[in-house]
Amino acid sequence: MTQSTTGNSRRSFLKTSTAAAATAGTLTGIAQGAWADEKNTIQLALVGCGGRGTGAVTNAFAVDNGPLKLVAMADVFERNLEGSYGRLNAQYADSGKMDVPPERRFVGFDAYRKAMDSLRPGDVVILTTPPAFRWVMYTYAIEKGLNVFMEKPVTVDGPTTRKMLALNEKALEKNLKVGVGLMCRHCEARRELHDRIQDGELGDLVTLRAYRMAGPTGTAATGPKPDGVSELLWQISRFHAFLWLSGGAVSDFLIHNIDESCWMKNAWPVKCVASGGRHYRGDNVDQNFDTYSMEYTFEDGTKLLMNGRTMPGCYQDFSSYAHGTKGLAVISNGGHWPSRARMYRGHEMNDRNLVWSFGQETNNPYVDEWKHLIAAIREDQQYNEVERGCMASLVTSMGRMAAHTGQEITLEQMMNSQQEFAPDIQSLTLDSESPLKADADGMYPIPLPGLEKDREYAS
């Protein structure tokens, strides 16, 4: 099993190496007697009880290196919380892993605090709310001395990236263990492919390309708000539709392909130009484009081409590739897992040119990222994936901003951007107005490339 390292400080983010940020160290087996009795059970609290949060708990429960127990849950929607609890309890009621009585199921904007208050220092809070709330909740987790698993993306704009990097310095000082849900980095097949590329088996990388081209995905395409419903809560329930909550379809759906490609390159791109558009929108009011085409450039001039689409009836592709002077590598093909990682001589994919294939992939990376985090906690190994998560989130946002403004955007510009989508998010309550308000016709501001050149939409 391997651990993540922290990389360089935010002051040197342009030179942050994905080799350093990749899961690179080695964790030993569990020490004899460590966390062996019930008092040393690692307790979990789930904050954000949607499908990904429920899945994260299931993945954690699959780790077999000491007792884990879910003791608290929180969400702004009672229906989400009770639905998640019901599914988890039906599966794990007899396992001893579920201990979430009604008094530890919390609803509301302050529910995350109550859930974390149910834990002891050193326990784990799972943050799977829309990413807009990540820095707010991470602040409290650090204050409470909690280890953290947080879903990707971890930021949605430049200001929140700066906040997360500053917060993370406090987490590092406290030696908190933090995992970020970019599980492709924990995939055995991709890890071997990465090592082979670094060993020169593909030659010098000259181009990377990635695709996530599918039909309508998540809540990225969203129609008008129903009457009589809180605008804030409705937007949260449709969070892929709104940039302030999720970074939109780009940040939530393209980040894995972008991150795994940058990992193979061992570098972050320094600039991006992009295009995109909205098509056949009907009465949809979300802020997303339906197509995105991004050209990232690394410091050495190498390109990463990223194509995303969420339109029905179109050709579909979900894959990432690396082209080198000696041949072609498939980073992933057909989804996140199994990766189907393999290498070819030349650039034509056929059996005759196949030079390496990982073969059958038995380890689920969604579980392995939990194995690595829990092992680091039990062994007290340095483990913090936040800087790498911030960089992957920022690079993804850089591509999104390039498409939404029609400008070339550099990584430095993105890091220093002043457009914070929800600057007062920490003050929201169930009765608050949304940071993003509809006009008289129920429409929301959308990107206007070439017209709005230094911000992604007009407030």
Write out pLDDT tens, residues 29-77.
Answer: 333 233 434 568 999 999 999 999 999 999 999 999 999 999 999 999 9
Residue 454 scores a pLDDT above 80? yes
pLDDT in tens, 312-359: 999 999 999 999 999 999 999 999 999 999 999 999 999 999 999 999
Is the omega angle on the peptide bond into residue 312 within 30 degrees of 0, that is, cis?
A: no
- The model's pTM: 0.92
State whether the Cα torsion 161-166-170-175 is positive or negative.
positive
pLDDT at 30: 34
Answer whether CATH 3.40.50.720 is correct for domain 10-185+365-386: yes
What are the CA-CA distances from residue 190 to residues 60, 62, 184, 197, 407 (Å)? 21, 21, 7, 10, 33
**Fold that domain 187-361+396-427 belongs to in CATH:** Dihydrodipicolinate Reductase; domain 2 (3.30.360)
- Report the percent of the chain where pLDDT is more than 90: 91
N- to C-terminal Cα distance for the chain?
A: 47
* Domain parsing of the chain, residue ranges: 10-185+365-386, 187-361+396-427
Q: What is the mean pLDDT of residues 362-377?
A: 98
Q: Compute the distance between CA of residue 146 and CA of residue 149 in angstroms, rounded to an integer.
A: 10
Residues 112-162: tens digit of each pLDDT: 999 999 999 999 999 999 999 999 999 999 999 999 999 999 999 999 999
Q: Which amino acid, residue 108?
A: G
pLDDT for 446:
97
pLDDT at res. 11 = 41
Please, what is the average pLDDT of the chain?
Answer: 92
pLDDT for the residue 14: 46
Position 362 scores a pLDDT of: 96
